[in-house]
Amino acid sequence: MILTLLSLVVGLVLLIASAERFIYGAAALARNLRVSALVVGVVIVGFGTSAPEMLVSSLAAWQGNPGLAIGNAIGSNITNIALILGIAAIIRPLTVNSTVLHRELPILLAAVVIGWLLLSNGRIDRVDGLLLLLAFAAIIYWMLSVVRQGRAAGIDPLAAAPEQRGGVSNLRAIAWLAVGLVVLLASSRLLVWAAVDLAELFGVSDLVIGLTVVAVGTSLPELAASITAAIKREDDLAVGNVVGSNTFNTLAVLGIPGVIAPGPFDPVVLSRDVPVMVVLTLALFAMCYGFGSNGRVNRWEGSLLVAAFCGYQWLLFGGG
């Protein structure tokens, strides 16, 4: 028990420290390459901070625990929006300035709807998993194509202004990215191991472990990254981190158990967990899209998101 608690504390401290260095390297590299912080948030940071979910889902599915893997994907999406974005907005209201994010938000919404449709028959098959992973690869290709085509035309909408360029060398920025990512993965694995060990002492199911302990544990990099970005007034990076991570979770993390361990899952996922994820994604879309103006997540909206997260936890543990 003492070792487990110590692992939780050490894992949390390392997560926060490594996330700060990861964001530092990502933002510096983006500015050096004249790429907006939003692109880094959606692609590099989103992928990097989703790596723990991918790792845990792969291991869980491989070890015959697809419920934990599916719960991890759905629970992480719920945690990212309700808890992480909510806390970040409470710390400092977030303004979504970039018009590029208006293209990423519909993609996230479409990914969630597709995931919902594929799960609607009560099972996730290998074909479902492959479709999700192919969609994930297509989105990455599209995002890179947007940057490449824009630069070729000399009207790159994702280019950062020259005055935003940082004084950190590319080598140093890449070094911090690499170190931050490695420590993120290691510390996330340590924290999740300790959290699962504690949860199993109370006889909690694999699905609930995935939706709660594992989801929150693997989402701590997103929490640290978004809070750090909000404090540093990188609003697009804070929101882009959540949008990119949730898109990756829905397509890649949810697709992994379908490929590795296809089969049926607990029906309660469709009646309880997926609807919560869809409603929160719609709320994120409404708050951030702006509909002709800049989107904004205010403190009261952040408070509502955190309240929704607490209500969801009560539903899992106290509401049956």
Which tens digits make up the pLDDT trace of 139-170?
Answer: 877 876 766 666 566 554 444 433 344 568 88
Joined together, the tokens standing for residue 185 give: 């993965």
Neighbours of 155 (CB within 10 A): 9
CA distance 93 to 275: 27
For 167-207, how does the pLDDT look when each residue is reduced to its tens digit (9 = 90+)? 688 888 889 888 888 887 787 778 777 777 777 777 777 78
Distance CA 232, CA 303 (A): 21
Quick check: 111 and 74 in contact, CB under 8 A? no
pLDDT-derived band at 301, boundaries 50, 70, 90? very high
Indicate the fold that domain 38-155+203-317 takes in CATH: A middle domain of Talin 1 (1.20.1420)
DSSP summary character for residue 129: H
Q: For the chain, give the number of residues.
A: 320
Range picked from 61-75, 107-121, 179-193 for highest mean pLDDT: 107-121
| Residue-level pLDDT at 49 | 63
Gap between the Cα atoms of 79 and 66, Å rounded: 19
Is pLDDT at 129 greater than 90 in this prediction?
yes
Question: 41-45, 166-170, 213-217, 238-242: which range is least confident on average?
Answer: 41-45
C-alpha 112/C-alpha 280 separation (Å) is 11
Cα end-to-end distance, the chain, whole Å: 28
Query: What does the pLDDT read at residue 36?
Result: 61
> Residue 236: which of 31, 80, 38 has the closest Cα?
38
Is the pTM for the entire model greater than 0.85? Answer: no
- Mean pLDDT, residues 22-40: 72
Separation in Å, CA 109 to CA 106, 120, 135, 268, 279? 5, 16, 13, 22, 10
Question: What is the residue type of 219?
Answer: S
Return the exposure string of 14-31: e unless at least 16 CB atoms fall within 10 Å of the residue's CB, then b.
bbbebbbbbbbbbbbbbb
Q: For residues 246-268, give the mean pLDDT.
A: 90
Average confidence score pLDDT of the chain: 81
User: What whole-number distance in Å separates Cα of residue 110 and Cα of residue 309?
Assistant: 23
In this structure, what DSSP letter does residue 159 have?
A: B
CB atoms closer than 10 angstroms to residue 9: 11
Closest CA to 192 of 52, 66, 75, 45: 52
User: Would you give the DSSP letter of residue 279?
Assistant: H
**Total Cβ atoms within 10 A of residue 5:** 12
Query: Tokens 């504390």 appear where?
Result: 9
